[in-house]
Amino acid sequence: MELGKRLDFKTAARKLAFIFLGNLCYALAINLFMQENRIAAGGFAGLAIALHPWLHIPTGVFVLVLSIPLYVWSVFVKGWSFMLLGLMGSVLYTFEVDLSALVLPTVTHDLLLAAICGGALNGLAAICFLEAETNSGGTDLLARLLLTRHRSLSLGTMFLFCDGAVVLISMLVERNLEIGIYGAIGIVVSSFVGDKLIAGMNRASIYYIIPSGPAEPIAREIMEKLQRGVTSLEGRGMYAGTERQVLMTVVKPAQGYKVKALVKGIDPGAFVFMAHAAEVAGEGFIDVDASASIERKKKK
């Protein structure tokens, strides 16, 4: 029971840390690059930027007010735990974005640079919320809820509709096609950065080991010292016709040299080769459900 409580506390603390970091990235993107440059790179925050000349409402407050009805809807679709965690993220978003606006200056008025840097920070923020398994409200939540009513559409299509509408509104308000193009650039950069970060986090190396002697000592060392699983495959050398066990293990890229060092220390005559895995889901890596969520994000 105590172990379970400690694990739950650790998980909750980790999610809160990612929510805080994600909102901080959003705050930096908005206040350092997008707000004064009038770049509406999608989302309710983009809508707040587009309508600011008329409404004069702080961005964080605007996003929270529009998100509250969506969270009420989400109770019936996703349940209370989803709603409470997401609402907490939205409240933190409001405080971080609006308070940081009081002290953060706009660092550039070059629209292309602002769109690229702001988009990159938005992509990093999206990854943080993906790690926290929640959202900060806005069009992210709206797209997910609409998907429950229109299951024939993909999440990427929903995002395209929602964020595209924000960019279109921005162009109409500003009466400027160019500002809409910069908003679209911000969205593209955000998706690109998100995809690259996801690929980096989920990358792994597959090591195949053909021992010259007993395979069990090598497998035991990998499992005990690296805390990675090992699978034994049956193999036969076609030249000599010798039956051999082939060990397969999947490790993080940073652990590769440890695998080679362990094998060399136990069996210097072993044959080792490595292959890259673009994505790994399961125990010790990303959850299978999270992997499916990532695939949906990639379609964004």
276: left (phi over 0), alpha (psi -120 to 50) or beta: beta
What is the pLDDT at residue 285? 56
Enumerate residues 6+ apart whose C-beta is below 8 A from 269: 212, 213
Mean pLDDT of the chain: 81
Helix (H, G, I), strand (E, B) or coil at 135: coil
| Residue percentage of the chain with pLDDT more than 70 | 85
Residue 106 DSSP class: P
Q: How far apart are the two ends of the chain, measured CA to CA in Å?
A: 40
Q: Is the pLDDT of residue 299 over 60?
A: no
Which of 154-163, 257-266, 290-299 has the lowest average pLDDT? 290-299
Cα separation, 173 vs 46, in Å, equals 12
20 pLDDT above the threshold of 70: yes
244 strand-pairing partners? 235
The model's pLDDT over 39-92, given as tens digits with 9 standing for 90+, comes to: 988 888 888 888 887 888 888 899 889 888 888 888 888 788 778 878 888 888
Is residue 297 over pLDDT 50?
no
pLDDT on residue 114 = 94
Encode 134-153: b = buried (16+ Cβ within 10 Å), e = exposed.
bbbbbbbbbbbbbbeeeeee
Would you say 203 and 294 are in contact if contact means Cβ atoms under 8 Å apart? no
Query: What pTM, to 2 d.p., does this model score?
Result: 0.67
The confidence band for 241, taking pLDDT boundaries of 50, 70 and 90, is confident
Find out whether 147 and 2 touch, Cβ atoms under 8 Å: no
Check pLDDT > 90 for residue 31: yes
Q: Residue 50 phi/psi, 5° resolution?
A: -65, -40
